[in-house]
Amino acid sequence: MAEYGQHPSSVLALKSAHDFDTTIARLKTALATAGAVVFADVDQRGAAEAAGLSLRRTRLILFGNPKAGTPIMAVNPHAAVELPLRMVVWEDNEGHTRLDYRDVSQTLGPLYGIEPEVLGPLQRMVALLQTAVQ
């Protein structure tokens, strides 16, 4: 994916086996099944077009589960800047659907001093997203 630029090692970059709309639907179903709430679904392409610009299909999805996020914010209020969780679903130049997710379980510990046992519920997110795009 070098042709699309670099990303931090904490960002999970996946290629979906499904088209754009199916990928979004599968992700939302997987999140709901896991007890997560979709707080926002931002159509970034639509926002670009409203500003007279063009952008590939791109959606930013903010999601989370207060049962997982609240203990983190209770331990360190600064960590709230990382929550809710977010992912970007976008379409590449060949029409393939991509998913980028910043695995905050990798950053909340070292950057905010959150203990591994508090991060447990967030660590399951990577497998959930990987399964949803297969």
Instruction: Read off the tokens for 77.
Output: 């209020």
Tell if the pTM clears 0.85, that is, is over it: yes
Helical (H) or strand (E) element with 102 = strand 97-102
Q: Where are the domains of the chain?
A: 2-132
Residues whose CB is less than 8 angstroms from the CB of residue 123 and which lie 6 or more positions away in sequence, other chains included: 105
- What is the CATH topology of the domain spanning 2-132? TATA-Binding Protein (3.30.310)
pLDDT of residue 65: 95
pLDDT of residue 4: 80
The mean pLDDT values, 10 residues at a time, for the chain of 134 residues are 76 96 98 96 98 98 96 96 96 96 91 93 93 96
Hey, what long-range contacts does 59-63 have (CB within 8 A, 24 or more apart)? 59/24, 59/88, 59/89, 59/90, 60/86, 60/87, 60/88, 61/24, 61/27, 61/28, 61/86, 61/87, 61/88, 61/89, 62/38, 62/86, 63/31, 63/36, 63/37, 63/38, 63/39, 63/87
pLDDT of residue 2: 53
pLDDT of residue 1: 47
